[in-house]
Chains A and B, each alone.
Chain A
Amino acid sequence: MAKGMFVDTSICTGCKACQVACKEWNSLPGDPAHFRRVPDRPYRVAFNFTGDSYDNTVKLSATDWRHVRFIEQFNESRSEARWLFSSDSCKHCNDAGCLNACPVKAIVRTDMGNVFVQQDVCIGCKYCIPACPYGVISFSEKTGTVHKCTLCNDRIHNGLGTACAKACPTGSISFGEVADLRKKADARLARLKGLGFEKANIYGYNEAGGLNVFYLFMDRPSVYGQPEAPVVPQQRLMSSTAVTVASAVVVAAAAMISFRERGEKKKEEVKL
């Protein structure tokens, strides 16, 4: 059965252990801080820090397969504040836009339900990149291919959980059977609702055919940078094709009429 992850953002502390564990296990390079001189300062200043709370990578990329978002919420007088964290990654959609778009079968689904890029097949056409409604999969100039979270394909096929779940100190990320994880998520949601967290919601039961990596959010999904109603692009394939075929017929008919009419006019002129 499908394996996946449940990310309970309500108990995430934003420690980024998952980001580090992911980089360690998958041998992904980090982007070092770059320092440079600026006028009027005797010391060098880092210029590639984001300045956005504790966020250090901004988004997922070919070398950042996990990304912890930091969301600072204040009321108008800034007397009250809430700091939300959410560890984001590939969601291993059951209806995966990247997999549907791949022209060479480099992107496949394994027997454990995870979506995996076969690095020796990928040609680097980059069509999967705009096909992902979550902006997950990314191109690497270094390898000329695309990369994303594999759900630790090597680990899970050898009886281990994902590296990020293993490293998570609060149990915010849990790895397991999707069905079991859903039970856990439902119970946790019921408990939070009982405690008065009305806005708490689960993201990923229905989106993109169901997400194997799904979330419990304390606020609307858009607050966490997730689309509220993601559309898997290929759902529009039939209608888009139909309209294009209809236009082709219109153009062909227009050509036939425009060339034929003139031909006939000429004949009439000759007769006269």
Chain B
Amino acid sequence: MSFETQAPHWEWYYIAIYFFIGGVSAGAYFIGSLLELLGSDKHRQISRTAYYLAFPLICVTPVLLIADLGRPERFWHLFFYTKEGIPYMNFTSPLSVGTWALLVFGGMSLLSFLNNLIIDGRLKSPALEGLFRHVPHKVYAVIGSFFGFFVAGYTGVLLNITARPLWASTDPLIGSLFIASAASTGAAAIALVMAWQKISSRDAIKEVVVFDRVAMVFELALIAAMIVVAGRYSAPLSKGLYGLIFWGGTVVIGILLPLGLYWYGRRPGAAGVSLTALAAVLVLFGGAMLRIAIVQAGQLQ
């Protein structure tokens, strides 16, 4: 006799990929804004790359989210309770609070994107320049970082606050894991773009890589803790397709291998930049596999 909770049947190519892209955008934005706040000129290249990444990426996510709805044309009900005609947020629902956070983060990343265009001389807008003169961009960066963390982490809390065995038993660690992964994949995305452009200094890329290593070690520790906390309920993550995706795709290819490559790339004479780029691609792959494994394994009957 079974007493089963039901799976929501979220599609991996919508929800899990949203979790991943939202994480990359939020992670990149956080790194960019932190470096802007620390205020050193030599980090300018990094935060510039981060802001150019964050906004286009976050623009993709509402499309994915709305596509997975049963009634996509009603997506605006998330912001507005139609029966009373008032704005609505449900504080006990991570999905509701997270949607508002995504909106704020989207707005802040747009401002940062525009600010960058102005600084780079690609956009002339007296109105925006006036706005940034009255309220400095650093203010938006702080607000955006806060909501960026929210966007990166709420997706994990959202999974933890369910009755599905895998998601409930890993409580309260998925939020932390997704934040660590967002930081790591965000850093990897920045490093990849900087390596691609070839104009960036190797030192700047190295700094991003150093932080990426720290984030990945934290992520590994959280994965270990999660498996221990979940005990026998972690079984869906250890067998079958999702076992392969999780242990092979995320842990080996997405974390251990790039950690090794970063380590190897530190040595003088090693093929630094291309090696770093390869490692960054693997980190991004691992981040996507992490979301797919956890979101889909939790839905297995």
Contact = CB atoms under 8 A, between A and B. Distances in A.
Contacts of A144: 69-71
Interface stretch (A8-16, A29-37, A40-48, A127-135): A127-135
B144 to A, nearest CB: 13
A178 interface: no
B127 interface: no
A145 interface: yes
| Size bracket of the A interface | 35 or more
A10 to B, nearest CB: 18
B161 A233 contact: yes
A173 B80 CA distance: 39
A255 B78 CA distance: 34
Contacts of B83: 105, 118, 121
B125 interface: no
B197 interface: no
Interface string B207-250: 10011001100100010000000000000000000000000000
A254 B77 contact: no
Contact of B1 (A121, A225, A233): A225
A85 B64 CA distance: 44
A144 to B, nearest CB: 3
Contact of A224 (B1, B172, B218): B1
A132 to B, nearest CB: 6
A130 B6 contact: yes
B8 A225 contact: no
Contacts of A102: 90, 93, 96
A234 B175 contact: no
* Interface-central residue, B5, B43, B69, B210, by most chain A CB under 10 Å: B5
Interface in B137-181: 149, 152-154, 156-158, 160-164, 167-168, 171-173, 175-176, 179-180
Given A102-B90, A104-B78, A259-B43, A131 B163 contact: yes
Nearest to A103: B96
A101 interface: yes
B9 interface: yes
Interface string B279-301: 00000000000000000001000
A143 interface: yes
B275 interface: no
Interface stretch (A19-27, A180-188, A238-246): A238-246
A167 interface: no
A149 B122 CA distance: 58
A126 interface: yes
A254 B179 contact: no
A106 B7 CA distance: 19
Contact of A130 (B5, B172, B180): B5
Contact of B70 (A126, A227, A266): A126
Contact of A123 (B78, B90, B176, B298): B78
B34 A255 contact: yes
Given A123-B71, A247-B176, A254-B211, A225 B3 contact: yes
A248 B153 contact: yes
B196 interface: no
A5 interface: no
A136 B163 CA distance: 12
* Interface-central residue, B99, B154, B160, by most chain A CB under 10 Å: B160
Interface residues of B, number: 69
A117 interface: no
Contact of A259 (B2, B158, B161, B211): B211
B70 A247 contact: no
A126 B78 CA distance: 13
B81 interface: yes
Given A247-B175, A251-B215, A251-B218, A121 B5 contact: no
A134 B6 CA distance: 8
Interface in A110-168: 118, 120-127, 129-141, 143-146
A10 B163 CA distance: 29
A135 B3 contact: yes
Nearest to A120: B82
* Interface-central residue, A125, A144, A225, A259, by most chain B CB under 10 Å: A125
A103 B173 contact: no
B10 interface: yes
Contact of B214 (A105, A130, A139, A254): A254
Nearest to A84: B1
A263 B81 CA distance: 50
B117 interface: no
B71 A101 contact: no
Nearest to B80: A104
A247 B92 contact: no
Given A97-B163, A255-B211, 5 more contacts: A104-B90, A126-B70, A130-B6, A240-B161, A244-B179
The 7 closest A-B pairs by CB, nearest first: A124-B70, A244-B175, A144-B70, A247-B176, A103-B96, A130-B162, A240-B172
8 contacts: A123-B77, A130-B7, A233-B163, A234-B161, A240-B157, A242-B172, A247-B180, A252-B30
